[in-house]
Amino acid sequence: MLSNLGNILLFINVFLSVLIIYFASQNIKTSGNSISETIYQTTLLQTTLIFGCFFTLVAAFITSDFSLINVFENSHTSKPLLYKISGSWGNHEGSLMLWVIILTIFSFFFLINNKTHPKNYRLFTLIFQNIIILGFLSFILFNSNPFTLISPAPKEGLGLNPILQDPALAIHPPLLYIGFVGSSIYFSAAMASLITNYSEKFFAKSIKNWVLISWVFQTLGILVGSIWAYYELGWGGFWFWDPVENASLLPWFAMTALFHSLIVLEKRNVLYFWVIILCLLTFVLSVTGTFLVRSGILNSVHTFANDPNRGIYMLSFLCLMIFSSLFLLFKKYRKNNYNINFNSKETYVLINNWFMLFYLLTVLIGTLYPIFTDALTENKISVGPPFYNTVIIPVVVIFLFFMAIGPNVKWIKNKFDNLISLIIIFILALIINFIIVYFFKSFTILSNLIIISSLFLIISSLIDLKKSLEKSKFDLARIISHLSFGFLILFIGLNHNFSLEEDFNMKVGDTKSFNNYEIKFKKLEVKNFKNYKSLIGDLEIKDKKMSQIKTLNPEIRIYESPSTLTYEAAIKTNIIKDYYLTMSNIDRSDFYNIKFQKKPMMFWIWVSCMVLAIGGFLRVFQNAKSN
């Protein structure tokens, strides 16, 4: 029986984690720098069995074993196989199983891939990592067990939320969790570093690739989630400052600050305690995001598991991590008088960190403030895009200039010998911006500042690339990442400045004209699919200026398991712009609300974000090669 097998494997994994902590503690007391073979074998067994436990859950979903409450609540016999499989982690209990798998994988690979580092440092990292694993296994066993039985077993399940039945949502959680949960290994390593006094550049070398790997997957997870929200939720954009979106962004800011600080620690042996703080902060923010999603205190389309008991457990676990790490940090902290010249690469990295922490605090306050006002005054408020745009966008303008200048600044002490070239780049960015304004006839001061600063970064990065190619020695990973980030901000600025949105009510046969466009509602068609019925609109969009006609087919989908209505956007994409159309019925009348949007540069926003992640992957391979 799958339930018994799953529970047995969970208990065995608890026992194995305790064994690993015991064996590691005993091995610390021995002399020499070699780790017992028993520890390697036990860790490998732990990793194997946790995979076995997860595949047991997946098998229950594939075979529609509705004797498990988790399968009954999140699956249905008519669901396609892909969504049966992804349904195993598309819920609270299953997603926690995925958490434990990633915790265990990072624990195992850190142990076997850091053999050049001291034994005690590696063993303490293993101990802390298994304490975290034990915490999550206990949570699963006693509060969120995916193998809990229901009796009598139902013949049919309730089904998975239809908006989660999507290929992007099948891969979004695993990508994001590798980022979230991957930060646990350098949290554990930071605690081990404080205990063993293993610091400076050797500590930086031991964790830099783990930081980059988690950052890359966090970036990809955010990207895939953003693409899914764009075409599935009908909002028509790439980011909406939804509280759960923000929860995924918070650790990304901390990771970005961390891997830049690691460069300074490795090169100059400074900022050690600052790196430790960022290691601790990143994982704390990851667990904070998990708490917000699972506690039910956030109102978001992304949240699940509205259970106060689960929230209390996560909050207790989070507080335990925070207080234990702070206790160890303050116990080991010693003041270091770093001799850092204000005009040096070290200073520019610190400036990068300050910007990242400013963004982090802004998003954190915007996310948590409504929760506190609701708890204290019982007044429900929301903090939306106007707040974030007003606070963050002006600061991004300044940040992009520093981001362009920083890479060319020398270590220790720099001379401003490239001031003329910077002025020329700025003038060139101004000229290109004026050309954009002239041809597209749209102007706001803030959006133009964004375009100018992003162009400044792009041109600077392209010049860096040219100089590096001439010298046959260049940091391709850094140039690609900075260049793609510049393009990302540029395309976001163009998208924001030149988007068009119209909202109106129509019935079949109606025609609406606005700006240079004309929309004709030609017909409606009903189609039956395997697990839903679809009402498909046929709307013709005419671009009068370009003499182009596009046909878009938005849908209203009616699901029975569970009984749900969804609105599917129709999107026509090319490399310049997207036409975006959604349709919803008005009070069961003959009229439908039609929302039309023209979204410039959407394709390039996705491409820029993907290339940004590729830059991170290149850095991982570059680091591995140099080691």
- The per-residue pLDDT for 561 is 66
Distance CA 194, CA 202 (A): 13
From the CB of residue 590, how many other CB atoms can be counted at a distance below 10 Å?
Answer: 12
- The per-residue pLDDT for 303 is 52
Report yes or no: 450 and 498 within 8 Å, Cβ to Cβ: no
- The per-residue pLDDT for 155 is 84
- The per-residue pLDDT for 43 is 96
From the CB of residue 544, how many other CB atoms can be counted at a distance below 10 Å?
Answer: 11
Instruction: Write phi, then psi, for 558 (nearest 5 degrees).
Output: -115, 110
Report yes or no: 605 and 488 within 8 Å, Cβ to Cβ: yes
CA 359 from chain centre, in angstroms, equals 15
Residue 385: burial class (beta carbons within 10 Å; 0-12, 13-18, 19+): exposed
- The per-residue pLDDT for 313 is 79
- The per-residue pLDDT for 259 is 93
pTM of the model: 0.92
- The per-residue pLDDT for 472 is 65
Distance CA 430, CA 352 (A): 24
Report yes or no: 265 and 225 within 8 Å, Cβ to Cβ: no
**Tokens found for residue 346:** 């070290």
For the chain, the structural domain boundaries read: 1-161, 389-498, 505-603
- The per-residue pLDDT for 327 is 87
CA angle 597, 552, 545 (to 5 degrees): 60
- Helix 345-377 / helix 272-295 crossing angle, nearest 10 deg: 30
What is the chain's length?
627
Tokens 């010049």: give the residue: 463
The residues of the chain scoring below 70 in pLDDT are: 294-309, 335-339, 375, 414, 416-417, 441-443, 472-474, 561-562, 626-627
